[in-house]
Amino acid sequence: MPASSSLPDSWYYDVPTTGSNRLPPDAGYAKALTNQGYGFEVAVADLVDNSLDADAEAVVVHFLRNAQRIVSLLVLDNGRGMDAVGLDSAMTVGRRRDYGDRSLGMYGTGLKAASLSHASSLTVISRTKGSRPEGRKLTAEGIQDGFRCDTVDLGFAQQQIDAYDGLIQWHGTIVRWDQVRAFDTVSTGQSEQFLSEAISRLETHLGLYLHRFLSRGLKLDIAVWDVETGDETDHISVDALDPFAYKVPGKAGYPRRFTAEVEGVGDMELAAHIWPAKSKQASFRQIGPLSERQGFYFYRNDRLVQAGGWNNLRSPEGHLALARIAVDLPSAANQVFSLDVKKERVQVTPAFTRGVEQAVDRSGAVFRSYLADAEAAYRDGASRSVVERPSVIAPGRGFDPKVKRAVTEELPLKMGEEPIRVDWTVLPEGRFFDLDRENNTILLNKAYREDFNEGKRGGSNDAPVTKALLYLLVQDCFGLGRWERKRADRIDYWNSILIGAVDAQRERRLRAAD
């Protein structure tokens, strides 16, 4: 349709206004707040971001369970904490606090949106060095009821802080999720498998997106507690999962650093890496499909906010699976980069892609030469033959995370099988281990537990060498339809030999103690 001849007279660059009205959010906003599209791991990572912004040195993610089901999730930290005024501010829907240049938070919605996307009830209990423990509770129903936030009983708040005095001494915070929708849908008898899979995904996500903090000493743990017995049934330390931590680059001379002149931002450094072909390292294969993990890795204040993707520079393709580029986003606000509220995807304007296309390194080589090198490294690796290794059932609860990661790096896993657990329990004299094939569990005689833990009781992931060796011996005994006499005999004579070895180990330990 042709433009009207009156357009020049009616066009305004700014729309004129005649007044203003303040329109507070409707209580129905609760539904929008609880449907922000947060994945479970992304939501928990957002809570950990808050802990880091509070200068926490240690963070624990606690799954709480009973014999039948998973009941709650807690995120605990030893950060600065909040007093009553700070808690009210943190729990106010729509209130954005002042963020420093190095803060991980941005929009002021993460705590509420991330939590209520998964739980019907959010409780925050906190204390500072100069204030007593206080707590606030926010529910979806409370938001609908005029944005009501409940005050937690002071005695209960103190009790909760005292329960975690090993972590929270003078200051710290507890974030608690109740009525978690994913937990409530787990059928009876499936809690163990759900927890194993959920913890594995969470460990990978936190290890990847917070790998720079973990490498600098952040202590981040995931634990499972039984609320009825008080026992800790699982505990792992999250290790850094650096997406650039190859031992040898896929091509000599890498990584190379390119400088891109980005309009509106200035010069930006692109650290271009090429992974070795067919690497089995967890930081290459376990962080997601290779087609999705090639491309740009954007960091904001050292927190990974995008793990792969080409951001309209090009389309993903198999020949670029080894190409990964680290980019630190500018801390100052700009019109080129925008980050979604979940902090897992960066939007860029054409100014960035134009800058990348014209980027050069110190020798004058252009960015296209890097892409060509990455493709050549992939093709060269694809031509090499690989020995096929047998698939195994994954190790699960009771194995140290480093053991589990090593297995998944070295061996293909059987899909659809419940992971193999290992438990210390009472066994007959003369029996070092046994198999509960129905429940995919290796049973170890707890009479010998101290012999593998320097005379101490040990934790849930103790004796990693012993457990790993037993796993390698017996993992092919699970998932079988028929139990052969030959296999049963093998278990018997292995036990006899191992009992002799354990007795020798005990004698050496006792002599050393005398």
Q: Is the peptide bond before 255 cis (omega within 30 degrees of 0)?
A: yes
- How far lies 448's CA from each of 99, 399, 452, 467, 503, in Å? 53, 17, 7, 13, 9
- Say how far apart CA 169 and CA 2 lie, in whole Å: 72
pLDDT of 274 > 60? The answer is yes
pLDDT of 86 > 80? The answer is yes
State the burial class of residue 284 (Cβ atoms within 10 Å of its Cβ: 0-12, 13-18, 19+): buried
pLDDT of 385 > 90? The answer is no
Please say whether the beta carbons of 408 and 430 come within 8 A: no
Eight-class DSSP state of 366? B
Could you tell me the pTM of the whole model? 0.82
What is the average per-residue pLDDT within 240-264?
A: 95
Dihedral sign of CA atoms 241, 243, 244, 246 in order = positive
pLDDT of 325 > 80? The answer is yes
Eight-class DSSP state of 100? -
Structural domains in the chain plus CATH codes: 29-237 (3.30.565), 256-380 (no CATH), 401-513 (no CATH)
pLDDT at 222: 96
164-197 pLDDT per residue, tens: 988 998 999 999 999 999 998 888 778 888 898 8
> Which three-class secondary structure string do you get for 454-498?
CCCCCCCCCCHHHHHHHHHHHHHHCCCCCCCHHHHHHHHHHHHHH
pLDDT at 474: 94
3-state helix, strand, coil in the chain (%, to 5): 35, 25, 45
Neighbouring CB atoms inside 10 A of 19's CB total: 4
> Which three-class secondary structure string do you get for 195-223?
HHHHHHHHHHHHHHHCHHHHHCCCEEEEE
Eight-class DSSP state of 413? B
- For 262, phi then psi, to 5°, come to -105, 120
- Say how far apart CA 407 and CA 409 lie, in whole Å: 5
- Say how far apart CA 125 and CA 76 lie, in whole Å: 10
Q: How many residues does the chain have?
A: 514
136-165 pLDDT per residue, tens: 999 888 888 888 889 999 999 999 999 998
Tokens of 462: 């103790």
